Amino acid sequence: MTKNTRQRIVDAAMELFWLKGYSSTSIADILSRSQVNSGSLYHFFPGKQDVLVAVLEAYRDGIGPMLLEPAWGGVDDPLEKVFALLARYRRSIVDTECQYGCPIGSLALELHEPDPAVRELLAANFTAWVDAVEACFREAAYRFEPGTDLRALAELTLNVMEGGVMQARTYRDVACFDRAVAQLRRMIEAMLVRDLAE
Amino acid sequence: MTKNTRQRIVDAAMELFWLKGYSSTSIADILSRSQVNSGSLYHFFPGKQDVLVAVLEAYRDGIGPMLLEPAWGGVDDPLEKVFALLARYRRSIVDTECQYGCPIGSLALELHEPDPAVRELLAANFTAWVDAVEACFREAAYRFEPGTDLRALAELTLNVMEGGVMQARTYRDVACFDRAVAQLRRMIEAMLVRDLAE
DNA sequence: GTCTATAAAAGGATAGAC
DNA sequence: GTCTATCCTTTTATAGAC
């Protein structure tokens, strides 16, 4: 049984926006990849931007099942969960021969005057990511020096990931990403309580 | 005396690519802003992408006079030069009501299959930036713990800046950038030799 | 909900006179 | 080097039958 039309459109658009970006993806691209006709797409969505909104909602709703859970399979240590998540990005970079871009980060920089709905969904995606990383740090809170700002550390993790992905893509070299993660790891280890640090 | 035509085109394109991105800027946009006619543009440039190349060359060649020197006016301490550079980005964020995007970083994520010439120019811009920051750290090398990887630290500085700009833009809140810089400063201070640390 | 056909505009690029 | 006019393609979106 083939999935419903609306879902096929969102799936196709999600992949195309990731591969080519938003403005370089035409409605015709979406139609041909999803095997849907123009009339059907405009039946479900008023316009291209509304497809983008649906895509961003799908990313936000899928962050657990599509990103975190696959990354965390078999990993129990909360700090290592953070690095397992980063390792998943590394895998994406390698699998795409260093052409990978974080879909949310790329859209956040590509769209220069986004609708409020779009911008808020971009922010919601970042927030969900940072929340998840912060939750890992909190699970390991007792290992950090008292008073450590774990929210700020989670935000820094996102920033380092986004920067590392950007550099790896630009230099076509995953080592850029690796160095970024290594710096982050060194920093985090320096923030741990001495006796408990490995 | 009005500047020569080619320069007017590059100036207009530089601003438009920054404001709207590459694909959202049309040739017509460039023509109307630069007050140049179609025939003249295509006299100097084979096509739109060649204008982009010229813009990226202008950024690369202007990083000293246009970015570093203004940022460093009156700042002598090499470590504070790094933070003065970051403060300049902060100013841009505030001045644009948090719509600022690093022109190079934005293009690096917007362009999904860039020509080799374009990609190499993006990389050259990042390299020039990291080189400059690394040079600051090297000037202050004696203050760091021996063996500190100053190149990696300069790369991290770029990553944190790019991540901070991305978040500030997405959340429309310069505090995102401030927190990123604060984390970086704390990290750098932790890497300094104790007796010399302020 | 889906189909085909097509409108209406915008886009990159070119021609050829001056 | 610069000008106007215009070609050709792509793009978003709509119309209207089924």
Residue whose tokens read 């460039």: B30
Tell me the pLDDT tens digit for each residue of B113-151: 999 999 999 999 999 999 999 999 999 999 999 999 999
Query: A63-66 long-range contacts, Cβ below 8 Å, gap at least 24?
Result: A63/A125, A63/A128, A63/A129, A63/A132, A64/A132
DSSP element (H, E) containing A64? none
DSSP designation for B157:
H
Chain A residues with beta carbon closer than 8 angstroms to that of B112 = 19-21, 24, 99, 101
Nearest CA in chain B to A22: B110
Q: Name the band, by pLDDT with cuts 50, 70 and 90, for residue B1.
A: very low
- Interface touch A160/B162, C-beta < 8 Å: no
Residue whose tokens read 């260093």: A98
Nucleotide nearest residue A35, measured CA to C1': C2
The alpha-carbon gap from B145 to the nearest alpha carbon of chain A, in Å, equals 14
Q: Is pLDDT above 50 for B191? A: yes
Q: List Cβ neighbours of B44 (8 Å cut-off, separation of 6 or more).
A: B5, B6, B9
Q: Is pLDDT above 60 for B192? A: yes
Minimum-distance CB partner of B21 among A112, A123, A183? A112
Q: Are B5 and B45 in contact (CB under 8 A)?
A: no
Tell me the pLDDT tens digit for each residue of B33-62: 999 999 999 999 999 999 999 999 999 999
- Interface touch A166/B162, C-beta < 8 Å: yes
Tell me the pLDDT tens digit for each residue of B66-115: 999 999 999 999 999 999 999 999 999 999 999 999 999 999 999 999 99
pLDDT of residue B18: 98
Distance CA B173, CA B159 (A): 19
Q: Name the band, by pLDDT with cuts 50, 70 and 90, for residue A45.
A: very high
| Maximum alpha-carbon separation in chain A | 65
How many CB pairs below 8 Å do chains A and B form together? 122
Residue whose tokens read 């429309």: B172
Chain A residues with beta carbon closer than 8 angstroms to that of B187 = 187
- Interface touch A152/B183, C-beta < 8 Å: yes
Q: Is pLDDT above 50 for A113? A: yes
- Interface test with chain B among A18, A112, A134, by most B beta carbons within 10 Å: A112
Q: Are B68 and B33 in contact (CB under 8 A)?
A: no
Distance CA B100, CA B94 (A): 8
Interface of B with A (CB under 8 A): 19-21, 23-24, 99, 101, 105-106, 108-110, 112-113, 119, 122-123, 126, 152-153, 155-156, 158-164, 166-167, 169-172, 176, 179-180, 182-183, 187, 190
Distance CA B121, CA B52 (A): 10
The alpha-carbon gap from B19 to the nearest alpha carbon of chain A, in Å, equals 7
pLDDT of residue A2: 57
Q: Are A132 and A62 in contact (CB under 8 A)?
A: no
Distance CA A170, CA B147 (A): 28
Cβ burial of B102 (10 Å; 0-12, 13-18, 19+) is buried
Through-space separation of residue A101 CA and nucleotide C5 C1' in angstroms: 38
